[in-house]
Amino acid sequence: MKTVFINGSPKKKMSVSAHLLGMLRLFVRGEVVHEQVRNQADHARVLDAIRDADKVVFGLPLYVDGVPSQLLAFMKEMEQFCKEQGLHPKVWVLANGGFIEGSQNKALMQVFECFCRRSGLQFGGGLGIGGGVMLNVLRILLLVYLALFALRALSGEPAAAAIDFAKQLGMILFFHLGVLFYGIPMGLKVNRGRECGVHYTRVMLPSFLFILVADLFFILISAFKGGIFRGWLAKK
Amino acid sequence: MKTIIHDLPEQKASLLSGIQAHIISADGKYAPCQGCFGCWTKTPAECYMKDALHTACRTIGHADELVIITENCYGAYSPAVKNVLDRSIGLSTPFSTYRGKQMHHTLRYGKKDRLTVYAYGDMTEAEKATFQYMAERNAINFGFRSFSFTHLKSLEEMEGMKL
């Protein structure tokens, strides 16, 4: 059984889609191949990878309520390729959007269902996650906490450090509850080639707090990159 | 003033002649969005890639109406048209608010009148429903007060149509 994980994010670094696919991959046995579709130049290679695949998992970011354009172009080629070669891999979708509501991925998910029907592929289901960017922040935070724990443990207070780290780990796990609740069963279903249904979840944070965090995040980034001083909110 | 985004083949582009509008021709001769958010955080309402879509969000932003003519692609825009939309998020600001009871970005150019979407080409019932929903979501996202979605069985239906 060969499974191809296709990252549909154009990003080279800090791709939330790659991170989520990496977590899902932990549950999938057999031959696994990771691919990414960043532009036209990737098409031939990725199509070649799915030639003998039974399962294809797309991981992608939500762009303007839908599929990023460069992945959409790939899907059109994949439709032709699968029809010509008589391929029928099962397809799952792991989408993440910047907005906190997971259900904002609904139109994207419907596009994939239409894609599967047109291409003669079986749609295995999908998971739409809201607040995707925060998963990136949380994994960085986890490394920071881990480093602090190591420093304190080495400087002679391992017990207190362990208790603090356990609390911090608990908090990070809490934010991931929805992702884990739907993501783990999805991983197990992908492994067995079963359908997992379509579900939507989010980072476990109320939307008003998420908006506050997102606003602060963009203020900091824009100050650092200088956009704040270049007519940040002006009608250009 | 209105803006029209279209992916009509060259021989059909005459359907748009004489129309008073800014026309963005989605010919695919530009790069896809790289997801860097630079049009929010570094050079507001401007993409770092200096191709035909360098300031596409401004062209859309200054118009009251947006008309999109696109080939159907699984109940969504063609890749070339979607590319234009992906490269136009500078229409919004990085700040967030609630619109339609959900989180969205605040609008750099304020609310707009109408989003009109025409999709041509063969289309299943599921794709029509998906596209209708997509247009509705886009209208909320980009801050249009109203929207419409029409399936054109063939481009000939466009002849004589008031866009």
What are the chain A neighbours of B107 within 8 Å (beta carbons)? none
| Domain-embedded: residue B33 | yes
Query: What residues contact residue B21 under an 8 Å CB cut-off, 6+ apart?
Result: B1, B2, B3, B4, B63, B67, B163
Q: Is residue A78 part of a domain?
A: yes
Interface touch A211/B37, C-beta < 8 Å? no
Among B42, B78, B103, beta carbon nearest to A227: B42
At B133, the pLDDT band (50, 70, 90 cuts) reads very high
Percentage with pLDDT > 70 across chain B: 100
Residues of chain B positioned with their CB less than 8 A from the CB of A11: 34-35
Query: Does residue A164 belong to any structural domain of this protein?
Result: no
Structure token digits, residue A113: 């269902």
| A212 and A201 housed in the same domain | no
**Ranges in chain A, pLDDT < 50:** none
Same domain assignment for residues A196 and A217: no
Q: Looking at the domain assignment, is residue A122 inside a domain?
A: yes
**Non-local CB neighbours of A79 within 8 Å, separated by 6+ positions:** A115, A118, A119
Q: Report, in this order, helix, strand and coil percent for chain B, each rounded to 5.
A: 30, 30, 40
Is residue A231 domain-shared with residue A196, that is, in the same domain? no
| Neighboring chain A residues of B42 at a CB cutoff of 8 Å | 222, 225-227, 230
By residue range, what is the domain housing residue A232? 208-236
Closest Cβ opposite residue B76 in set A66, A99, A227:
A66
Domain membership of residue B135 (yes or no) is: yes
* Owner of token pair 């003669």: A120
Q: How confident is the model at residue B161 (pLDDT cuts 50, 70, 90)?
A: confident
Q: Residue B103: inside a domain, yes or no?
A: yes
The verdict on residue A29 lying in a domain is: yes
Give the pLDDT score at B163: 77
Q: Is B95 contained in some domain?
A: yes
Q: Is residue A159 part of a domain?
A: no
In sequence order, what E strands does A2-77 have? 2-7, 31-36, 55-61
Q: Do B75 and A207 touch (CB under 8 A)?
A: no
| Distance to chain A for B160, nearest Cα, Å | 31
| Tens-digit pLDDT profile for residues B35-78 | 999 999 999 999 999 999 999 999 999 999 999 999 999 999 99
Average confidence score pLDDT of chain B = 95
A58-72, B10-24, B86-100, range with the lowest pLDDT: B10-24
Claim to verify: residue A189 and residue A230 sit in the same structural domain: no
* Residue A157 counted as domain residue: no
Beta-carbon separation of A70 and B83 below 8 A = yes
- A118 in the same domain as A231: no
Looking at residue A86, what is its pLDDT? 97
Mutate to test the interface with A, among B36, B70, B82, B147 (most CBs of A within 10 A): B82
CATH no. for residue B65?
3.40.50.360
Q: How many domains does chain A have?
A: 2
- A29 and A60 part of one domain: yes
pLDDT confidence band for B13 (50 / 70 / 90): confident
- Based on the fold, state whether residues A191 and A212 are members of the same structural domain: no
Residue span of the structural domain in which B116 resides? 2-158
Assigned domain for B68 exists: yes
Whole-complex ipTM: 0.97
Same domain, A7 and A109: yes
Q: What is the pLDDT of residue B159?
A: 83
Within-domain flag for A139: no
A148 is a domain residue: no
A172-181 pLDDT, tens digit each: 999 999 999 9
A99 lies in the same domain as A84 = yes
- Contacts (Cβ under 8 Å, ≥6 apart) of A124: A55, A90, A91, A92, A189, A190, A193, A194, A195, A196
Distance, CA of A10 to CA of B157 (rounded, Å): 37
Whether residue B138 is contained in a domain is answered as yes
- Looking at the fold, whether A39 and A11 belong to one and the same domain comes out as yes
Q: What is the pLDDT of residues A99-153, one digit of tens each?
A: 999 999 999 999 999 999 999 999 999 999 999 999 999 999 999 999 999 999 9
**Is B51 within a domain?**
yes
Does B18 have pLDDT greater than 90?
Answer: no
Cα–Cα distances in Å, from B123 out to A128, A183, B95, B154? 25, 32, 37, 11
- Are A127 and A180 contained in the same domain? yes
CATH number, position A106: 3.40.50.360
Coil, strand, or helix at residue B106?
strand
**The pLDDT of residue B128:** 98
Look at residue B61 and tell me if it is in a domain: yes
Query: Same domain for A44 and A15?
Result: yes
CA distances A127 to A32, A95, A178, B2, B145, Å, are 20, 6, 11, 37, 30
Domain count, chain B: 1
Residue A215 forms contact with B (CB below 8 Å): yes
